[in-house]
A and B are shown apart, each in its own frame.
Chain A
Amino acid sequence: MLNTLKLIERNMRRNLRRTVLTVLTIAVATFTFTVLISVPASMDRLVSDAATGLRLVVNNKSAPWEDLPARYCGEIRALPDAAACVAMTGWVATYRDVSDPIQAFAVGPENPDVFPDYDPTGELRAAATKDRRAAFAGGVLMKKEGWKTGQLITLHGTDAGHLNLSFIVLGTIKSKHYPNAFVIRRDYLMEARKAAGYPDGDIAWFLMVRAERADRLSALARKIDDHFRNSDYQTRTVTESDALSSNLSAVGSIRAIIVALGVVVIVTVLLIAANSAAMTVRERTAEVAIMRALGFDREAVAGLLFGECAAIGLIGGLIGSVCAWRLCSGGLTLGAALNGNGALWVTGRQAFAALATAVAVSLVSGVIPILGVVRISPAAALRRIV
């Protein structure tokens, strides 16, 4: 039996090639748009996750890329309101793909004191004591590289000395806050560097400090900087969320670029869909006239035509948004970007927003041709047929 949905479905199959191509265009555009809109959302998520923590980042005041003595941690731990401190020394290396670096951080056994959500059960700390080559990776990185627990891997350093170091991946950092992390033993890296003739001593890129209470964060930051004011290496201490925000702003106006790209995607697919809608409507002028003559009013006919547009947008949008969500809902690593904090997440909400946008764009694409054809009086339209 005939009904509106069946009529829409039949009309969509009328020129199947055109329908399929339009659906695929919308699918690809929706996929791209979903991933694009998740970038600023992922960045915001990084910062908001950090804002809930009790951590401070201590950098060299001269410049953030200058090192600090790792021994400063001992002095910081002695300060009131400081619960824990760990020196973080970075090492950039590659695994299989030389264009896709991994940002490793070498830390001491006090690391879980500063990052309690790294290792809530203590199993990673216990495992790290068994082998100097112990390494732990975030879930997204494990999945991306295809590593298994217990696997022996060799990473190739991208620094001047091109250190090649072997590690045993002893576990996954289960917390979703560190999807891309690669954590190794500090003593292992320092010994390797010394053996390779690196001139520096026990240095750290920065120090991570955990405060005892959230309301003491600012006070502790000031205390740390005051404590080292007259030292060889003065410090600049900020909250972890401020440090991340600063990192993100260092990659430039990425939000503006993303928004611009998103607009380009939307406009492009709108033009393609509008062209397809215009061709479809032009071919159906006769049928529109017949339906008007049979007694279907303007709204009913417009509703049928807009229904087709919505169906095409819905199908294409579903394909694109679901593919993006399936691919990226578990997180996509952004490599060494943002000190290895970078990961892209597509949430269900973002996928739904992209789907809604696809349907809206498809509907808008039909506005001009559909309203144009239903405005023609039945008599005028029938004259065109005859």
Chain B
Amino acid sequence: MGNGYSVELEHVTRIYKRDEFEIRALDDVTVKVRKGHFVGIMGPSGSGKTTMLNLIAGIDHPTSGRVAVGGEELAGMKEAQLAGWRARHIGLVFQFYNLIPVLTAFENVELPLLLTALRKTDRRSHVQAALNAVGLADRINHYPRQLSGGQEQRVAIARAIVTDPTIVVADEPTGDLDAQSAEDILTLLTELNRRFNKTIVMVTHDARAERYVETVFRLDKGVLVGVESGRAPGVATATTN
């Protein structure tokens, strides 16, 4: 990342085909996010937020344009390469937590570490550190059904950071939470950003999120329509069409 950007999307377009229809989920979008910044992607439903997030996370491929994350170009990577790359560089947080119900909190957080070469003792210390960071050290043997929504999302965040990824991508992390829990999660993400200098890209509908992020990228109908400062002025640059 010689140029200081964690995420670079240049003239990215993503088109989906649904039967005979073409859906332009993203249309010639250019976005850059500096290392260590906490940014939000906002917009109405169907504006392309999750599509952009998926492209950044390497879960999807653009129809055209350039996507680089952590200095690595994703376009040329095959499916298997992308999977390995995601395991090393991306931490994912979903709206509905998506924890494995048959695994404890500890085991859910440990899951991504199975893809590493870490020994058992090292895995244990990583997991404990991640759970400590999210304030759930006393819930390690609980199953998801035994946790509240906020606690489940904390476990999900711990799972996202346990591999020390380059970037954390969060898709509506507060979407299924009550107001207090949502505030707690946003505070936690901010803390992770500040304490560990983690780059965080968050898709959100939540208007409260603007107080926590440094930059807001606004999408509408797949087009980047605005770049605004959040709680603090950022040095992110963007281009609108």
Question: Which A positions have Cβ atoms within 8 angstroms of B?
Answer: 1-4, 6-7, 10-11, 13-14, 286-287, 290-300, 377-379, 382, 385-386
Contacts and interface: CB of A to CB of B under 8 A. Distances in A.
Interface residues of B, number: 34
A1 B106 CA distance: 9
A286 B88 CA distance: 22
B87 interface: yes
A379 B87 contact: no
Interface in B79-116: 79-80, 83-88, 90, 92, 94-96, 98, 100-103, 107, 110-112, 114-115
Contacts of B92: 293-294
Interface of A, helix, strand, loop or mixed by DSSP: helix
Given A2-B111, A2-B114, 10 more contacts: A2-B103, A3-B114, A10-B102, A294-B111, A295-B88, A296-B115, A297-B79, A378-B59, A379-B54, A386-B171
B123 interface: yes
Contact of B96 (A7, A299, A385): A385
Contacts, number: 78
B47 interface: no
Given A294-B92, A295-B84, A14 B111 contact: no
Contacts of A300: 115
B83, B92, B123, B159 — which one has the most chain A CB atoms within 10 A of its CB? B83
A14 B98 contact: no
A2 B107 contact: yes
Nearest 8 A/B pairs, CB to CB: A295-B87, A379-B60, A297-B83, A10-B102, A295-B86, A378-B59, A2-B107, A290-B98
B50 interface: yes
Contacts of B66: none
A246 B193 CA distance: 86
Nearest to B114: A2
B139 interface: no
Contact of A386 (B50, B60, B112, B159): B50
A372 to B, nearest CB: 16
B211 interface: no
